[in-house]
């Protein structure tokens, strides 16, 4: 996708551009949205037959396609967005870009899985294909929104230029299940807040978040159904340790990212920390319906340690912006990165909560 209109006033945006109106992708860091790839052979050979009924029911729901006509840019978008300027504009465009990249990353992975699994694992292939349909809509809608700010992402360029992280299928399932569920809670929490505080709706895209988040919720349910067909992903010690690891990684990444971008949440009248705590608690609770453990997020140490981490991530980002020699920068960053690492390890060792829940593992 490329720019459809030339920028009205380039000075309004302070971003690097690939071409006029096409934003250069944000530089990769440990906290930027990733693109994933996996072992397609292993995925193709995965036997999901013992939870076929549930998978078929979810796929039938995907086919209903509740949001077929939802992502249509209507008159709400006719306004001009020049009132969002300066740092606000930067924070806003960055939010759109990160969201678009994350949605597009889902699209690429699901589309590739659908393609590779076609004819070999038809049920999974069909599910992935229908989810890629949804993610393409989400990414496209966000990219269109960027054009309201006279920028777009070149998704073709992004596909070729981004590094892909390899995850074994089992880890793809933990990670995507959680990112779909956390995506649901992120969107619905913003939507509900703006429903109560309509004066904070500075841009109409948020009005679309209600039906949108239902797509993410259904995607999460699809991954849950696949995992239930693989009891070894959920019911032994190794599974409990991995669930703990993925819960913490997903929560910590979101928390550290959002606190760094609190100015964006403030634009919507939200306190980034409170918002994240709410989203983390809800996602943790949702995960308890599938995972054998959840994190003890009520333990006072939990958010206290994450708060400590945010001080170090702020220090790292200040060093990055200092313009100093790269070697000096790296040396200055080491103690902060070590501190973040040790705090994350201590968070990992907070005793989790065992849940027997309604996992309904199929044996």
Residues that bind Fe ion (CB under 5 A): 103, 135, 138, 180, 216, 219
Q: Which of residues 104 and 303 has its CB atom nearest to Fe ion in the complex?
A: 104
Whichever of 103 and 150 has its CB closer to Fe ion, that residue is: 103
Residue 363 beta carbon to Fe ion: minimum distance, rounded to whole angstroms: 28
Produce one character per residue of 141-159: b if its CB has 16 or more CB atoms within 10 Å, e if not.
bbbbbbbbbbbbbbbebbe
Closest by alpha carbon to 198, among 208, 189, 207?
A: 207
CB-CB contact of 191 with 158 (8 Å)? no
17, 18, 22, 28: CA torsion to nearest 10: -80
d(Cα 261, Cα 84) in Å, to the nearest integer? 16
- Which one, 103 or 154, has the nearer CB to Fe ion? 103
DSSP H or E stretch at residue 171: helix 169-196
> For Fe ion, which is the closer residue by CB, 98 or 219?
219
Q: With respect to Fe ion, which residue has the nearer C-beta, 180 or 258?
A: 180
Are 127 and 62 a contacting pair, CB within 8 Å?
yes
- Token representation of residue 286: 């949702």
Main-chain dihedrals φ then ψ at residue 119, nearest 5 degrees = 80, -10
Residue 179 CB, nearest approach to Fe ion (Å) = 8
Q: Provide, rounded to whole angstroms, the least separation between the CB of residue 35 and Fe ion.
A: 15
Q: What angle do CA 99, 103, 105 make, to 5 degrees?
A: 115
Minimum Å distance from CB 360 to Fe ion? 22
CB-nearer residue toward Fe ion: 7 or 140: 140
In angstroms, give the least distance from the CB of 222 to Fe ion: 9
For the bound state, the minimum distance from the C-beta of residue 98 to Fe ion, rounded and expressed in Å, comes to: 13
Q: Return the structure tokens found at 316.
A: 């790292």
Strands (E), 154-247: 164-166
């Amino acid at each position: 996708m490329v720019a459809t209109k030339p920028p009205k006033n380039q000075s309004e945006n302070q971003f690097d551009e690939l071409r006029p109106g096409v934003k250069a992708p944000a530089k990769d860091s440990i906290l930027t949205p990733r693109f994933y790839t996996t072992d397609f052979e292993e995925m193709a050979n995965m036997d999901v037959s013992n939870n076929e009924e549930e998978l078929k029911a979810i796929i039938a729901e995907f086919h209903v396609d509740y949001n077929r006509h939802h992502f249509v840019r209507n008159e709400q978008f006719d306004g001009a967005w020049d009132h969002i300027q300066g740092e606000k504009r930067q924070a806003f465009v960055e939010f759109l870009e990160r969201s678009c990249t994350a949605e597009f990353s889902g699209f690429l992975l699901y589309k590739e899985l659908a393609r590779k699994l076609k004819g070999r694992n038809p049920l999974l292939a069909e599910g992935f294909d229908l989810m890629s349909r949804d993610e393409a809509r989400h990414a496209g809608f966000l990219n269109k929104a960027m054009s309201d700010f006279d920028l777009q992402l070149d998704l073709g360029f992004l596909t070729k230029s981004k590094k892909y992280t390899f995850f074994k299928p089992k880890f793809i399932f933990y990670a995507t299940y959680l990112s779909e569920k956390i995506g649901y809670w992120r969107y619905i929490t913003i939507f509900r807040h703006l429903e109560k505080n309509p004066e904070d709706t500075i841009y109409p895209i948020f009005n679309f978040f209600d039906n949108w988040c239902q797509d993410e919720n259904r995607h999460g349910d699809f991954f849950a159904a696949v995992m239930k067909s693989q009891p070894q992903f959920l019911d032994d010690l190794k599974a409990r340790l991995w669930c703990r690891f993925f819960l913490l990684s997903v929560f910590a990444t979101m928390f550290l990212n959002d606190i760094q971008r609190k100015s964006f949440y403030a634009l919507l009248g939200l306190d980034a920390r409170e918002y994240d705590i709410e989203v983390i608690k809800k996602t943790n609770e949702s995960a308890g319906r599938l995972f054998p453990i959840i994190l003890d997020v009520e333990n006072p140490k939990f958010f206290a340690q994450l708060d400590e981490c945010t001080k170090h991530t702020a220090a790292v980002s200040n060093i990055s912006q200092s313009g100093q020699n790269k070697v000096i920068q790296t040396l200055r960053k080491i103690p902060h990165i070590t501190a973040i690492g040790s705090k994350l390890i201590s968070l990992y060792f907070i005793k989790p909560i065992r849940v027997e829940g309604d996992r309904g593992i199929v044996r």
